[in-house]
């Protein structure tokens, strides 16, 4: 089978011509295998697709068009009504996001006490300092005023979690720039719950070049140069 070791990117499938030569062609969305309801995904066009096969097949067919460039995976699950994000809410968003990132690292550190594997040794040593700090704000639904006060008073505890999350997302390729597809794993899980996340990331891209550089990312979270 000429297609056996012939790999195509998402949205394309291997096709063998009359000469037996393999090439990649767009996946026909209608030919995608049927999916369960929980496998549905929402595109950035606010349309529900029956899975990533259908979404990326549609994107491939729109290649070269403005719609094709703008279509991405927005989040897992059927499209939901996302309320409008106000100026006040987008201003408060980094406070809660910083606290959330810090708490994720705390959870990883606690899990590593039983079975290591979530964090590297270098990461563990950095997180340990935050974890053992008696001034650390414990996990909970804190008022915005308390989060702001804690950030100003214990600024050093928030720097590493913000850098860590950037590094976790910056993978394809590792170039100190975040693309829409690199942000997708974070956005896909948060969009249905955090209606300000889309606007937050749009405003993070200060020069509007479709990439979020490390400097822009840190600026968004209030981390000093």
Residues 99 and 126 in one domain: yes
Q: Please check the confidence at residue 116 and state whether its pLDDT lies above 70.
A: no
- Structural domain of 187: 87-221
What is the count of structural domains for the chain?
A: 2
Per the domain annotation, does 106 fall within a domain? Answer: yes
Q: Please check the confidence at residue 58 and state whether its pLDDT lies above 90.
A: yes
Residues 63 and 91 in one domain: no
Residue 22 CA: distances (Å) to CA of 4, 12, 25, 27, 43: 10, 12, 10, 14, 30
Instruction: Please indicate, yes or no, whether the overall pTM of this predicted structure exceeds 0.85.
Output: no
**Eight-state DSSP code of residue 10:** T
Per the domain annotation, does 70 fall within a domain? Answer: yes
Per the domain annotation, does 203 fall within a domain? Answer: yes
Residues 135 and 69 in one domain: no
pLDDT, one tens digit per residue, over 11-56 is 999 999 988 899 999 999 999 999 888 899 999 898 999 999 999 9
Identify the burial level of 217 via C-beta atoms within 10 angstroms of its C-beta, where 0-12 means exposed, 13-18 middle and 19 or more buried.
Answer: buried
Per the domain annotation, does 166 fall within a domain? Answer: yes
Listed residue (137, 199, 190, 140) closest to 165, CA to CA: 190
CATH number for 205: 1.10.238.10
User: What SS3 class is residue 63?
Assistant: coil
Residues 215 and 104 in one domain: yes
Do residues 96 and 221 make contact, with C-beta atoms less than 8 angstroms apart?
A: no
| Phi, psi of 153, deg, nearest 5 | -80, -40
Please state, in angstroms and rounded to a whole number, the distance separating the CA atoms of residues 185 and 74: 9
- Return the bridge partners of 24, or none: 14
């Amino acid at each position: 089978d000429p297609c056996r070791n012939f790999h195509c990117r998402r949205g394309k499938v291997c096709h063998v011509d009359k000469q037996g030569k393999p090439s990649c062609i767009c996946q026909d969305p209608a030919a995608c295998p049927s999916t369960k309801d929980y496998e549905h995904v929402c595109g950035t066009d606010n349309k529900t697709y029956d899975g990533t096969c259908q979404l990326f097949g549609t994107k491939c067919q729109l290649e070269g068009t403005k719609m094709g460039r703008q279509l991405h995976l927005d989040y897992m699950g059927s499209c939901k009504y996302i309320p409008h994000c106000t100026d006040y809410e987008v201003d408060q968003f980094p406070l809660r996001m910083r606290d959330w990132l810090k708490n994720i690292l705390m959870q990883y550190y606690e899990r590593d006490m039983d079975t290591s594997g979530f964090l590297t040794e270098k990461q563990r040593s950095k997180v340990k300092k935050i974890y053992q700090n008696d001034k650390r704000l414990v996990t909970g639904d804190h008022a915005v005023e308390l989060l702001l006060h804690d950030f100003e008073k214990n600024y050093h505890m928030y720097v590493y979690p913000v850098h860590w999350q950037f590094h976790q997302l910056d993978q394809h390729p590792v170039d100190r720039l975040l693309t829409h597809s690199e942000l997708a794993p974070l956005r896909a899980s948060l969009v249905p719950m955090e209606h300000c996340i889309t606007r937050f990331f749009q405003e993070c891209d200060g020069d509007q070049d479709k990439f979020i550089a490390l400097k822009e990312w840190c600026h968004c979270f209030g981390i000093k140069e």
